[in-house]
């Protein structure tokens, strides 16, 4: 009986630690530094991204055959820095199921606007 109680308590402790760590990732502010940005942005919802970065400069909604939005592409300008501290011209965030799944840093002069 005591052994079951100890196992249950240990399991609960690990679960609470995982939940707290996940919550702290969504509450941390986004750094412009490339790696620090990547450490926090993955899995954030669109709402959390807008809270941290504001509205994107360009967006595109990708829809399935049924008209439902299946993915979104958001682009921001000059929000992230490389290891030398120089700004990338553009950062693209790709969303699936309302969560960031891909981040692309670009230095192109003329980004292809989403939808073109």
CATH of domain 31-106: 3.30.1450.10
| Mean pLDDT, residues 41-66 | 96
Please report the pLDDT score of residue 108 as a whole number: 86
Q: State phi, psi for 6 to the nearest 5 degrees.
A: -65, -45
- The pLDDT of residue 72: 97
Predicted local confidence at residue 17, as pLDDT: 44
Beta-strand ranges (E) seen in 1-116 are: 58-63, 69-77, 90-96, 99-106
- Residue 69 corresponds to which tokens in the numbers above? 């939005």
Query: Tell me: the pLDDT tens digits for 57-71?
Result: 999 999 999 999 999
Encoding tokens for residue 88?
A: 């990338």
User: What SS3 class is residue 35?
Assistant: helix
Share of the chain above pLDDT 70, in %: 70
Q: Look at residue 100 in the predicted model and tell me its pLDDT.
A: 97
Instruction: Assess contact for 74 and 21: CB atoms under 8 A.
Output: no
- In the chain, where the domains are located: 31-106
State residue 7's pLDDT score.
Answer: 54
pTM of the model: 0.71
Least confident window among 19-23, 69-73, 87-91 = 19-23
């Amino acid at each position: 009986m005591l052994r079951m109680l100890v196992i249950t308590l240990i399991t609960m402790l690990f679960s609470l630690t995982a939940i707290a760590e996940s919550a702290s990732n969504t509450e941390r502010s986004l750094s412009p530094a490339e790696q620090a940005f990547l450490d926090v942005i993955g899995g954030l919802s669109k709402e959390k991204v807008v809270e941290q970065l504001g509205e994107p400069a360009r967006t595109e909604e990708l829809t399935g055959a049924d008209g439902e939005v299946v993915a979104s592409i958001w682009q921001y300008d000059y929000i992230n820095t490389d290891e030398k501290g120089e700004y990338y011209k553009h950062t693209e965030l790709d969303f699936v199921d309302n969560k960031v799944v891909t981040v692309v840093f670009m230095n192109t002069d003329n980004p292809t606007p989403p939808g073109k």
